[in-house]
Amino acid sequence: MIPFPTLRQFPALLNFLSAYLSERDIENRTEEQAIQYFLSVTPLNEIILTIEEGKKLLNKLFFPWKEVSSAANRYLSNKQEAREWLTKIMKILEEELKKRKLTSYLK
């Protein structure tokens, strides 16, 4: 039997989604501003772990899209939309690391 992944198996990603992106509406921040804030207050090793976990989750056949939607406090209507949204978020994080010349730390 293939175990289904849950966000609990990706604690850094879960923390990022629930602590930074889920509160963005309350704090009147765009996703990009929430990501900038995350990058400004989070240690580099945690940022890298968040990206790695996001990529691992995106590569899973069974994608817990409802959990992603709930953790991020964002309406995502289906698995495809959730994957596309999380892919976009991971790309923004990686691009920000590139701008800061920190991509050598990524696997």
How many other C-beta atoms are found inside a 10 Å radius of the C-beta of residue 29? 16
Q: What tens-digit pLDDT sequence spans the chain (107 residues)?
A: 446 779 999 999 999 999 998 876 656 778 888 899 999 999 999 999 999 999 999 999 899 999 999 999 999 999 999 999 999 999 999 998 888 766 555 55
Alpha-helical regions (H) of 1-107? 11-16, 31-41, 44-58, 65-71, 79-99
Can you give the residue ranges of every domain in the chain? 7-105
The tokens for 74 are 């964002």
